[in-house]
């Protein structure tokens, strides 16, 4: 009986550890340059059952950090992990066009391809690169 209790406790700990393991999309990502040449650093982390990304730094086309009223704003939300590095059913807000796109993301290594559509007009948000 004692052995069975030990095995049950070990199984519970293993499951709890797996449930708290970080998803590969979590971290800080550098966006592709927008229409103005600007880019940002987006911190992606869980928010409820999905993933959200918040702009934590903004940069101009020359790579100099700039002040932006959008720092602290959610850029990505409601992205649901579907497996095999795909995230769907989410939204991405594009500051340069002030539009929100129905979006999906594909994670491959240290690259995160972001694409989305609004009113039948689709946009490739480019491939973001992992910073952390």
Contact present, 24 and 105 (Cβ < 8 Å): no
Instruction: For 100-112, write each residue's pLDDT tens digit.
Output: 999 999 999 999 9
**Considering only CA atoms, which of 16, 66, 7, 77 is closest in space to residue 41?**
66
Q: Is position 37 within any domain?
A: yes
Q: Write down the pLDDT at residue 19.
A: 43
Domains: count for the chain? 1
**CATH, residue 33:** 2.40.128.520
Q: Is position 2 within any domain?
A: no
Contact present, 85 and 108 (Cβ < 8 Å): yes
Angstrom distance (rounded) from CA 63 to CA 42: 15
Q: Write down the pLDDT at residue 17.
A: 38
Q: Is position 4 within any domain?
A: no
Q: Is position 102 within any domain?
A: yes
Residue-level pLDDT, tens digit, the chain, 132 residues: 444 433 344 444 333 333 446 899 999 999 999 989 999 999 999 999 999 999 999 999 999 999 999 999 999 999 999 999 999 999 999 999 999 999 999 999 999 999 999 988 898 989 999 998
| Residue spans of beta strands (DSSP E) within 37-73 | 39-47, 50-59, 65-66
The DSSP letter of residue 69 is: T
Q: Write down the pLDDT at residue 57.
A: 98
Angstrom distance (rounded) from CA 17 to CA 8: 14
Q: Is position 10 within any domain?
A: no
Task: State the residue range of the domain holding 107.
Answer: 23-130
Q: Write down the pLDDT at residue 55.
A: 98
**Considering only CA atoms, which of 76, 99, 102 is closest in space to residue 89?**
102
Q: Is position 124 within any domain?
A: yes
Q: Write down the pLDDT at residue 14.
A: 39
Instruction: For 81-103, write each residue's pLDDT tens digit.
Output: 999 999 999 999 999 999 999 99
Q: Write down the pLDDT at residue 6.
A: 39
Classify 78 in phi/psi space as left (phi over 0), alpha (psi -120 to 50) or beta: left
Phi, psi of 103, rounded to the nearest 5 degrees: -130, 165
Angstrom distance (rounded) from CA 70 to CA 48: 22
Q: Is position 8 within any domain?
A: no
Q: Is position 18 within any domain?
A: no
Q: Write down the pLDDT at residue 120.
A: 87
């Amino acid at each position: 009986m004692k052995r069975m209790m030990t095995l049950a406790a070990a199984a519970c700990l293993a499951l709890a550890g797996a449930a708290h393991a970080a998803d590969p999309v979590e971290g800080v990502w550098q966006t592709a340059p927008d229409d103005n040449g600007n880019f940002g650093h987006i911190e992606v982390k869980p928010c409820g059952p999905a993933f959200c990304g918040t702009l934590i730094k903004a940069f101009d086309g020359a790579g100099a950090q700039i002040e932006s009223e959008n720092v602290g704003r959610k850029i990505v939300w409601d992205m649901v992990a579907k497996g095999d590095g795909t995230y769907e059913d989410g939204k991405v807000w594009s500051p340069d066009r002030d539009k929100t796109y129905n979006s999906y993301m594909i994670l491959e290594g240290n690259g995160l391809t972001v694409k989305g559509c609004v009113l039948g007009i689709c946009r490739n948000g480019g491939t973001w690169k992992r910073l952390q």
